Structure 1
Amino acid sequence: MMFENILEEVGGFGPFQIGIVVLLCVPRIVLPCHFLLNNFIAASPPHRCDIGTLGAGGGGLFGNLTGEQRLTVGLPLREDGAPKSCEMFAEPQFQLLANGSAGADLPTVPCRSGWVYDNSTFAATLTTEWDLVCDRKSLIQTTSSIFFLGLMIGAVTFGFLCDKYGRKKTLLASYVISIAFGFASAFANSYVAFAVLRFITGFGLTGISINAVVLGIEWVDTRHRSCIGVIGGLSWSVGNMLLAGLAFMVNDWRTLIMVVTAPLGFAVLTWWWIPESARWLLAHGKVENAQFYLDKCAKFNKRQKVASKFKLETLSNIEKPDKSYNYLHLVKTPKMRRLTLLTGIVWFGVASTYYGISLNIGGFGLNIYLTHFIYAAVEVPAKLLIYVFLNLVGRKKCQAGTLLLTGTCIVANIFIPQGLWHVRAVVAVVGKGLSEASFTTVFLYTTELYPTVVRQNALGFNNFMSRLGVSVAPLILLLEDVWPVLPQVIICSVAIVSGLVALLLPETMDARLPESIDDIEKPRSVKKKERWTPRGGIK
C-alpha cells in the first residue's frame, strides 16, 4: 500500500494541510529578512576623510576657516565635484581658496583620522560602526559570505539530523539557535564577534528553511504539491517586502536585527501544533505515532470514518527501510548519483543567480528601499505565474525556462547603456522575478525527485550547493573593481549553464513521490492512459 493512497483517504488537502502552511508562515517570513539583511545593515553611506586634525600645526589658520573652506583645503575632489572618499591632502592647501582648482596634481595620503559619514539615510550600519570603507570595503561582502557559509554548513547538518531524528524536533532546534544567536549578533562589540554570531545564526536558519518545505510537501497529495509549494513561497515574498519597510523605519543596524529576529519567538509557541511528518514516521517504523497524526488529519478534514479503516497492521504494511540512510546513499547507485550531480548544479545556479541579483540593488536611479521593495514585489506575480505553468508544462520545462530567461535578462542589461537606467531597471526587475520563479520551482521539483528515505539528506546536500552559490555571489560582485560588467557575465553564464543542465532531469508532474531508492533505480513503468484519480491511486 502506498502512502499516497492513505493520504487521499484521510484528506490530502484540507484544513489540516492549510493549518500547517499557516503555522510555518511566520518563520518563512523571517528567512528573507535575515538572508537579505546585509543590503541594509552593511550599507555604505557617502563618506569622506575626517580632517579635524589636518590643521593642528597650522598656527590657528585652519581653525579660522569655515566648514566649506576646510573641505576645499583638506580634501581632493572627484570628477563630479564631491570630495574623494579615501584620500586627503597631507597638509592644508590654502592656495586652493584662491584658484579654486580641484588639486588633482597635489600629493594625497590615505585618511589618517577616520571618516565622516552622511547619516541622513542610516543612523548606524556595520560600515560606520567599524569603518568598513576604502581598503576594508571588501569586508562588507565578506560579512554576507560568512553568513551564507553558516547556511551551507547548516544545510548538511540539518539534512542529516532531519532524516535521523525527524522534521519536528530539528525544527525546534533551528528556532532556538536562530533566536539565541540572532539576538546575540545585535550586541556584538567587534567585527569578528559579529561575523561568528552571524555564521551560527545562518546555521540555525537553514533548519527552518528545509524543514518548512518538506513538512508542507509531505503532508499534501500529489495534485496539490505545487499549490503548497507556491503558497509557502509567497511567505518569502511577504517577508522580503516587509524587510524594505522595516529597514526604512528602523535605520539602526542593531535594532533592525532584533526586529527581524523577534517573530521567531512566536514561531516557537506555534511549534507545539505542528505535526511530525507521517510519511517520515512510517518510513522509520514509528507506526503508532504515524496513526496518531493521520487520525488527527482525518479529524480536521472531517474524514473520521475513513480514518478508522487504517489500523496498525495496514500501516505496518507500507514499505519501510531496513537500514538507516545517509549522504553516501545519494551517490551509491548510478541513477541516484546522476540525479545528485544534476540537481546540485541546478541549485548552485539558481541560488547564485538569485542572490547575485538581489544583493546588487544600486545603480538604477532609485533609493535602495524602493529598489528592494520592487525586487520583492515582483516575486508575487512571478510565483503565481509559475504555479500555472508548473501544472501546464511541467517542472522540468519551468526550471530550465526560468533559468535561461534570467540569464537572457542579465545579458541584455550588459548591452543596455547606463544612461537608459529606467530600461535597465525594468529588465533587472523582470530578471529578478524569473530568478525567484526558478527558486520556487527548484524546492518543489527537488522534493518530488528524491525518495522519502533520503529526501531530507538530498535537500541538505542541495541546500549546501545552494549556499555555496550564495556564498560566492557577494564575492562575484567584488569583481566589479576588475571589470564593471564581469559580475554580470559570470552570473548570466551560471544561469544559462544550470538551465541547460535542468533539461537533463526527469519530469515529476502528476507522479507519486518515490519512497525508496529502488523507486529511482527501477522505476515502475506507467502507461500513458494511467492517471491519478481524485481519491488516490492510478487507473
Structure 2
Amino acid sequence: MTYEEAVEETFGLFHWLLLVVCGWANASDAVEILCVSFLLPTARCDLLLSSTDGGLLTASIFLMMVGGYMWGYLADQKGRCKVLVVSLTVNGLFGGLASFAPWFWLFLLMRFISGIVGGSIPVIFSYFSEFMPRVRRGAMISALATFWMAGNILAALAWLVIPKTWAHFSLGTLDFQSWRLFVVLCSVPSITSAIIFKLFMPESPKFLMEGLVPIKKIFKSPLRSRSITLTIIFYSISFYYGLWMWFPELFARAEDGGSPCANVSRPSALHNESCYPVKTAYMEGFVIAVSNLPGNIFTILVMDSTGGKALLGSLLLSSLSVFLIYVVQTKAQSLVLSCVFSGVSVIAWNALDVVGTELYPTQLSSALGFFTGVGRVAAITGNLVFGKLVDANCAVPVLLVSALLLAGGLVGLLLPQTRQTELT
C-alpha cells in the first residue's frame, strides 16, 4: 500500500475528532488576532491611545510572521505535535498576561511576544493535511479553515463582556476593567488547545516517514514560479486585515449615521464621555463574522470538484465589495457590503489554505509558514497605514485594499491546478 491508500483505508471517526481539535486551535488564532479590534475603542480610552498607537497595537499581533516561519522550520525537524504544544502555550500565556499591563508600552510588549512567538497556524494545516486522504483533502481542509469563522464569532462576542461596566475590580493600582477580562478570555482557546495536543494527539505519520528539505528549495525550479505567485497573493489578501481590524472603530464612528470614512470628526474615544461604545458597534462585528458562513459552506461543498485555483477568483469580487464600501453613503449600506466582503473573501482564504498545502512537499511545512509570514508583513503594513490615515483620509487605505485584492485575484490565474493531488 502507498501512504495515500493507507490513509484512505483508515479514514473514520479519528479524522473527524482531529478536525475538531485542529479547528479549535485554528479558532484560537482568530480570537487572538481579532480580539484587539473589538477591545480597541475601549482600550484607547483607558490607556489614552492615539490612532497611531491603535495601529501599533493591532499590528503587534501580526508579528506571528516570525513565529510562523520559525515554528514551521522546527516542525519539519522536531515534529508537528511538539511544536504546536509549545507555540500555542506561549501564545495563550502572553496574550493573557497582557490583560494585567497597566501601561500601553507593557501591553504592547506582551502582545508583541504573543505574536512573535506564536504563529502556529501553518503547522496546524500541515499536521491536519498529512492525515487526510487525497480525495477528501480539499473539503476537509476547507472545513478546518471554517473554524476561523468560529474564532471570529467568539471574538465578536465582545459585546457580552466589554460593555459590562460593572465587570471590573482593583488590583493594587490597576483598575481591571471589563476589556481586560475580555483579553483573559481570549487566551483560553490557545491554552486549552495546547493541553489537548499534549495529552491526546499523535505525531503526524507522514512526518515520521519523511526527511527535512531546506526552505530555500521553494525558490528553486520547479517551485520558483509558484512561490513568487503565492508571495504576491498572500501579501495582497493579507493587507486587508488593516481594514478588518478597524471595522469596529469605523462602525463606532458611523454610529450617528453616514459613511464611516465621512465621520472623521470622531477621531478618538479620548474625547467621549464614555469609554464604552454602544452595543450596536459590537453587534455589527458579530454580524460580519457570521456572514462568513455561506462562503465556508460553499468551499466545503465544491473545493474537491473545482480545486482551489478556481475559487481564488473570489478575490475579484472581494475587491469590488471593498471599493463599494468607500462609495456608499449610509451606515446600513456599509454594513451590508462589509458582510458581502466577509462572505466572499473567506472563499479566497479557504482556497489559499488548500492550494498552499498541496503545492509543496509535506517536508516543506515551513513553506506555508514563510507565506504566512509574508501575509503578516502585509497585515502589519495595513494596520499601520490605517492607524496613520484613518483620521486624515481613510479613503486612501480602503481603496488600496481594493486595488491589492484585484491584483491578487489576477495573479492567482498563474498558479497550477492542485485538485486532488497526491501529497509528496
| Band of TM-score, shorter chain | 0.7 to 0.9
Return the offset for 1:263. 3.5
2:186 aligns to what SS in structure 1? helix
What residue number does 2:171 align with? none
Q: Which runs of 4+ in 1 moved over 6 A?
A: none
**Does structure 1 residue 326 correspond to structure 2 residue 214?**
yes
What is the deviation of 1:482?
A: 4.2
Matched residue type, 1:268: A
Indicate if the aligned counterparts of 2:135 and 2:304 stay in contact, CA closer than 8 A. no
Where does residue 318 of structure 2 map in the other structure? Answer: 406
Name the structure 1 match of 2:349. 439
Cα shift at 1:463: 0.7
Match of 1:348 in 2: 235
- What residue identity is the alignment partner of 2:321? C
SS in 1 for 2:213: coil
2:57 matched to which residue of 1? 143
Aligned position for 1:220:
132
Q: Secondary structure at the match of 1:496?
A: helix
Contact 1:396 1:506 in 2 (8 A): yes
1:257-304 deviations in Å (ceiling 9; x for gaps): 1111123333233212112111111013xxxxxxxxxxxxxxxxxxxx
Distance 1:179 1:16 in 2: 26
Q: Which residue of 2 aligns with 1:389?
A: 302
Secondary structure of 1:509 counterpart? coil
Q: After TM superposition, give the deviation of residue 189 of structure 1 in Å.
A: 2.6
In structure 2, distance between residues paired with 1:276 and 1:181: 26
Give the structure 1 partner of residue 183 of structure 2: 257
Distance of 2:306 and 2:193 partners within structure 1: 36
**Match of 1:5, as an amino acid?**
E
User: What is the SS of the residue equivalent to 1:507?
Assistant: coil
Q: Deviations over 1:122-150 (max 9, x none)?
A: xxx43123211xxx33101111112212x
Structure 1: where are the runs of 5+ without partners? 44-124, 285-323, 516-539
The alignment partner of 1:37 has SS state of: helix
Identity of aligned residues (%): 23
- Partner Cα distance (2:132, 2:37) in 1: 36
Contact 2:237–2:375 (8 Å) recurs in 1: yes
Taking the aligned partners of 1:421 and 1:195, their CA distance within structure 2 comes to 31
Displacement after TM superposition at 1:509 (Å): 0.6
Query: Which residue of structure 1 aligns with residue 385 of structure 2?
Result: 476
Match of 1:282 among 192, 196, 209: 209
Look up the SS of the partner of 2:118 in the other structure.
helix
Deviation at 1:392, TM superposition (A): 3.6
Q: What does residue 461 of structure 1 align with? A: 370
Deviates more, 1:274-283 or 1:262-271: 262-271
Q: Deviations over 1:358-408 (max 9, x none)?
A: 532334659321111111101111110122332343211101x11111001
Residue matched to 2:147:
235
Change (3 A) 1:423 1:254: closer
Q: Distance in 1 between matches of 2:19 and 2:325?
A: 37
CA distance in 1 between counterparts of 2:20 and 2:227 reads 31
CA RMSD between the two structures:
1.9
Q: Is the 8 A contact 2:66 2:373 kept in 1?
A: yes
- Whether the 8 Å contact between 2:28 and 2:189 is mirrored in structure 1 is yes
Shift of 1:467: 0.6
Pick closer, same or farther for the CA change 1:247–1:220 going to 2, 3 Å.
same
Give the corresponding residue for 1:16: 14
Counterparts in 2 of 1:122-137, with a 5 A limit? 125-132=42-49, 136-137=50-51
Shift of residue 357 of structure 1? 3.2
Q: Give the superposition deviation at 1:178.
A: 1.6
Cα 1:253–1:354 change in 2 (3 A) is same
Kept in 1, the 8 Å contact 2:29–2:190? The answer is no
Match of residue 24 from structure 2 = 26
Matches within 5 A, 1:46-195: 125-132=42-49, 136-149=50-63, 151-195=64-108
Note if contact 1:389-1:398 (Cα within 8 Å) is conserved in structure 2: no
Secondary structure in 1 matching 2:100: coil
Amino acid paired to 1:469: A
Q: Is the 8 A contact 1:382 1:434 kept in 2?
A: yes
| CA shift for structure 1 position 176 | 2.0
Equivalent position of 2:275 in the other structure: none
**TM-score of the superposition, structure 1-length normalised?**
0.67
Cα distance in 1 for partners of 2:54, 2:372 equals 24
1:355 deviates by 4.9
More helix, by proportion: 2
**Cα deviation 1:411-439 (Å, max 9, x = unaligned):** 223333x1x33233212210121112211
Aligned to 2:260: none
Report how many residues are paired.
382
Secondary structure, aligned partner of 2:247: coil
Preserved contact between residue 354 and residue 435 of structure 1 (Cα < 8 Å): no
Letter in 2 for 1:423: Q
Cα distance in 2 between the residues matched to 1:467 and 1:130? 25
Shift of 1:475: 1.9
What SS class does the counterpart of residue 384 from structure 1 fall into?
Answer: helix
Partner residue, 2:334: 424
1:357–1:432 Cα contact (<8 Å) kept: no
Judged with a 3 Å threshold, the aligned counterparts in structure 2 of structure 1 residues 187 and 170 are, in CA distance, closer, same or farther, namely same
Q: Distance in 1 between matches of 2:389 and 2:242?
A: 15
Q: How do 1:450-529 and structure 2 match up within 5 A?
A: 450-454=360-364, 456-477=365-386, 478-513=388-423, 515=424
CA 483–250 in structure 1, closer or farther in 2 if over 3 Å, else same: closer
Structure of greater Rg: 1
SS of 2:223's equivalent in the other structure is: helix
Flag the structure with more relative contact order, 1 or 2, with Cα contacts below 8 A and sequence separation at least 6: 2
**In the alignment, structure 1 residue 270 sits paired with structure 2 residue 196:** yes
Give 1:473's aligned amino acid. G
